[in-house]
Structure 1
Amino acid sequence: MKWSLIAIAILVVIVGYSVVTVSSGPLAPLGRISFVKVGNPDFYPGHPHSELLVQYAKEKNSNCALICHFAGSSNYRSYQDGDVFIIELGLIDTQGTGAADPTNYGDSIKLALFGAPDDRYKYKSDGIVFDTYDEAMNHVYTLAKEHNQTGPLPIAWHGNARQGNAVLIQGCGFPLYFHVLQKTYGMIPAYLYTLNGMIFPHMNNPYRNFELGHATELQQLYNEGELDYT
């Protein structure tokens, strides 16, 4: 009983510290937006996943939102979708396996435990490649300010899994989301809010049953280029 009470007390302290730290910070963590692609590109004005992020931002009374990606060939252009300005940011992992290749789980665990070295990541937004985290986030916050953002900026990760189990595989943007939270709030809040973000789409994504029920089919269609509509 004594040890269980100590464990509960430690947990309360960790959660309390994380909540207080994040509540007074510049970013409002949301979590994962989607499980798989239902159309490509999916962060594009009017797309269902873009509209979900718009909805979540409005619920936070926010004029802007930040969406995290694993950078590919896209320029990750920020755009206006209705009343919300969507800021896109992609992660370039100079030592990683790439978005389409198998995950290196040993490397992922190391990054989760110790964070990424400062020279490992580059970032892409609006066609610009940034060599440092500070440069990338300065671009993000400048855009948010230019579009009348007040209060914490909602942040989410894309989440589409190109292959495999779409529940377990956290998909596009997951490493960048954790990285941004870790750099902004420290490791413990990053763990807590990333875990919460993994639960987020199960509670909030109205397309959850469709995406998960047809995940294998949608992944195949995407990988064969059949979901492209632009």
Structure 2
Amino acid sequence: MNEHRSAAPPRPRGRASKREAILAASVELFNSQGYELTSMDAVAARAGVSKTTVYAHFGDKLALYHAMAERAVTILDVDFDQLRGDDSLTTFGKLTTLATMLVESLTSETFIAFHRVMILEARDKPDLTSRLVPGAPHVVDVVMAILHEDAVRLGYEIRDVHAHAALFVRIAAATFEVDALLDADFHPDDELVSRHAAWVTHMFLKNVRPVSLWEADGDLTTAPPAPDYLWLAERVHRD
């Protein structure tokens, strides 16, 4: 892994590939060195392009940082949109898969490193985060759409679908993200993430759907096993 990171990247060809190379280099350098210590010269060298090319694409370091962050979010948003349109999945299946994707992304090394940079720099450089939180994240919009479609299909009403969608995202992701930020050794395995996603989705839909519709699609008949959360007392104090 370290050998791969230290190897010089191939020189990109074409305008689009140069932009991608610059963004990839910025992810590595911003996340490993922080915002202040990362120079445009270093990004250019890592990307295999001239500093003039970097400035031509992004203008300044702040614009490059915003573009790097937005790129990571956009890639994830595309996956969420594809999931929403997957008619082979039930509502339970879509929300469980979405929760799994969200946790896996937010606890990845790249996202955690990025969030740590934001936390460290946010007070002294508020411009770093000013464009990153323009409103509700796209994932909330996707959950809203999934819940709305479920309500229309089964014939019930969700009074504030936006609030419910935001709550689902918070419950699904926040605890794992905080643990990963605070503990560098916290790497949730696939089983824990999967059980967490199923449990959260099950409990959430049971509180959203009317009792008479709990068994719709056959996805709420049996509760999944409760996940063995890391933050429970018996896990925290375990040797």
TM-score between the two structures when normalised by the length of structure 2: 0.26
**Structure with the bigger percentage of strand:** 1
TM-score between the two structures when normalised by the length of structure 1: 0.27
**Structure with the bigger percentage of helix:** 2
Which structure has more RCO (C-alpha within 8 Å, separation ≥ 6)? 1
Larger Rg: 2
